[in-house]
Chain A
Amino acid sequence: MFSRAYKTVVTAPPLVWVTVFLLVPYLLMFCYSFWSVSPAQAIVHSWNLENYKELLQKTVYWETLLRSMWIAARVMVFSLLLGYPLAYFLSFYAGKRKDLLYQMVIIPLWVSYLVRAYAWKTILGSDGVLNTLLQYVHLATHPLDFLLYSPFAVVLTLTHIYTPFTFLPIYAALEHIPRNLVEASHDLGATPVQTFWKVIFPLSIPGVVAGATFAFVLSLGDFLAPLLLGGPSGIMISNIVVSLFGAAYNWPLGAAISLGMLVIVVSLLFFSERLEKKWSFS
C-alpha cells in the first residue's frame, strides 16, 4: 500500500543522518587509530601500526583494561544479585502493589547519573555522612579512609546506577512466563524451589543475559565515576582515553584504545544476543 516514493522519503533522510553522524565517526575512529602525532603536536595522517604496537608492549594498558573488566564484572554480579530477587518478588509476590513498586524501581533509573554519583561522594567521604555517623554512634574513632577514592566506591556507585537497568529486562522476562506453566509444575508435585530452578529460572535467562550485558558494558566504559570517586587505584580504561584526548594529547593512541573498547563491546553484544536467542522460548 505504500508507494516507492513514500518508502524513499521515510528511508533516505534517516539513512543519510545515521551514515554521517554514526557510521562515518566510527570509521574515522578506525582511521585515526593508524595515524600519529608529530613532536609539534600535529596529527600526522600517515598510516602506521605504532599505536597498536605501543598498546601491545606497555603493560599499563592491559592492567587498566583488566582492572576495568574486573570492576565491571563485580558491578554486573552485584546488580544481578540485587535485581533478580527484586524482579522475582515484584512479578510473583507483589500483588496489587506491583505497579507502584515497578514505578519506584524505574524512578532512580532516570534520575541524573551525576546526581547519584555525587550523592555517594558525600556519603563516603572522610568527613562524609557515613564516617561522621559511625563516629557519632562510636563505632569508629577516626574516619575510614578506604571508603572513598577506591575501586570499592566505584563498584558501589555503579551498582547503584545499573541495578535498575539489570532489573528491567529480568522483570520483563518473568512477566512473560505463562502462569499456567508455573501452576502445572505445582500441580505435578514440584516443590516451589524445584519450580523456580526447573521452570522459572530457565525461562528468565534471556532477561538475565540482557541485564548482565547492560551492566557490564556500560560500567566498562565509564569514566566519570572513577574520576569522581575512584582515586588513583580506581582508574579505568576510559580515564586513560580521556587523558589522551586531553592533556596527554595523543588522539591516535586514544582512538586505538577506544576502537579496542568498541570491538570488545560489540562482540559482547553479539554473544549476548546469541545466548538470548538460544534460551528464548517464544
Chain B
Amino acid sequence: MEFLVSGATGNIPRSRWLLAHAAAVFSFLYLPIAVLILYSFNGQGVGGFPPHHLTLDWYRLLFNDAPIWDSVLNSLQVAFAAMAISLTVGIPAALALDRAQFPGKKLFRRLVLLPLILPGIITGLSLLMLFNVMGAKLSLMTIVLGHGTALISVATTEVFAGLQKLDRAQEEASLDLGANYWQTFWRVTVPNLKLPIIGAALLIFTLSMDEIAVSFFLIGRDNTLPLEIWGRLRRGITPEINAVSTIIFVFSLVTIVVWYRLRVRAEGGADVGAELIEAGSAKS
C-alpha cells in the first residue's frame, strides 16, 4: 500500500476513503462481466445461485450454431468495409483540417465529429431516410455506409492528433528533393502516421463489430452479430448468449490492449483515449 502516499498530498485518511471508493467502482464495472463469464459455464441456465454443474456444453452448442457464425462473417465483412471507408475519408479529412482553409471548415469539423456524440438513433434514422429517398434496398451495404460514415470521426481525430506532432520539415525536404505530392504522401506522411492510423483502424474495427444502434435501423435480410444476439435476447435467454458474449469480451480485450500499447508508443503519455472523448464534445 506504499503507493498510496506517493501523491502530491500524502493525506492517509482521505486516500483510504478514495481507495475504498475506487475499489467499489471497479467492482461495479467488472462484476457484470464476471457474472457473465461465470454463467457461460453454468449447466443450469443463466440465473440461479450458486452456479453449479459447470460445463462446456454451451460453447459446444455455440460452435455448432450456424446462424451465429453467419452473422459473425457478416459482421467481419461490415467491419473491414467500414474501416476502409472511414480511413479513406477520415485521413484526407484530417489533412484538410490541418492544412487547408476553406469556407465552412468549422461546420465541416463539427459535422464529422457529431456522430461520435450523437445518440445512434439519430444517425441511424437520418441515413434510413436517405436510403429510402434514394430507393436503396437495406442490406449489409447500407450498414457499411452507416458505420463507415459514423466512424470517420475516429480516423480523423486520431490522424489529426498525429499530424499536430508531425515534423513538417520532412515533407518539405521530400518535396524539395523532387518527389511529387503523391510520393511524399505515401513515402513520408503515411509512414510517420503509421501508429495513429493502425490505432484508428483497430478502434474502428472494434466499434463496428459491436455497433447496434445504427445497424438496428439499416438492417436488411442478413444480421450482424450484435443484431443476431439482440434477436435471440427478445426470444428468451440461454447461457449460449453468455458464451458468445464471453468470446466477444475476450476479443475486445485483446484489441483494446493492443490499441492502448500502440497509443502509448505513439503518445508516450497516459493521456491516451481522452482526446477522442474531448473531440467528441465538439471542442474546436
Q: Do A and B belong to a common assembly?
A: yes
Q: A interface vs B, CB < 8 Å?
A: 1-3, 5-7, 9-11, 13-15, 17-18, 20-26, 28-29, 32, 82-83, 85-86, 88-90, 92-99, 101-116, 118-123, 125, 127-129, 131-133, 135-136, 160, 163-165, 168-169, 171-172, 175, 179, 182-183, 186, 192, 195, 210-211, 213-214, 217-218, 220-224, 228, 238, 241-242, 245, 251, 254-255, 258, 261-262, 265, 269, 272-273, 276
Provide the bound-state CA to CA distance between A108 and B273, in Å: 13
Known contacts: A129-B49, A165-B277. The answer to whether A86 contacts B92 by CB under 8 A is no
What does DSSP make chain B's interface, helix, strand, loop or mixed?
helix
Give Cα A238 to B119, complex, Å: 10
**Interface residue from B21, B36, B270 paired with A119 (Cβ < 8 Å):** B36
Say yes or no: B99 contacts A86, CB within 8 Å: no
Contact of A276 among B29, B277, B281 (CB under 8 A): B281
Interface size class of B (residues with CB under 8 A): 35 or more
Shortest CB distance B175–A (Å):
7
- Is A163 touching B29 in the complex (CB atoms < 8 A)? yes
> For the complex, what is the distance from the CA of A211 to the CA of B283, rounded to whole Å?
13
B95 at the interface (CB under 8 A from A): yes
Q: Is B79 an interface residue (CB 8 A)?
A: no
| B9 touching A221, Cβ below 8 Å | no
Contact in complex: A125, B47 (CB < 8 Å): yes
Pairwise interchain contact B32-A119, C-beta atoms closer than 8 A: yes
Q: Which of A11, A20, A86, A254 contacts B25 (CB 8 A)?
A: A86
Distance between Cα atoms of A136 and B47 in the complex (Å):
12
Q: Are A261 and B274 in contact (CB under 8 A)?
A: no
- Contact indicator B32/A82 (Cβ below 8 Å): no
The one of B46, B252, B253, B277 that contacts A210, using a Cβ cutoff of 8 Å: B277
- Contacts A10-B99, A111-B33, A258-B122 hold; do A92 and B8 have CB atoms under 8 A apart? yes
CA distance A90 to B128 in the complex (A): 43
Given contacts A13-B89, A99-B270, A113-B212, contact A25 B126 (CB under 8 A): yes
Residues of B within 8 A of A21 (CB): 127, 130, 145, 149
Residues in B whose Cβ lies below 8 Å from that of A273: 281-283
How far, in angstroms, from A85 to B28 measured CA to CA in the complex?
14
User: Do residues B152 and A14 form an inter-chain contact, with CB atoms below 8 A?
Assistant: yes
* Neighbour of A92 across the interface among B7, B96, B255, CB < 8 A: B7
Known: A22-B114, A214-B281, A222-B119. A160 touches B29 (CB 8 A): yes
Q: Are the C-beta atoms of A269 and B133 separated by less than 8 Å?
A: no
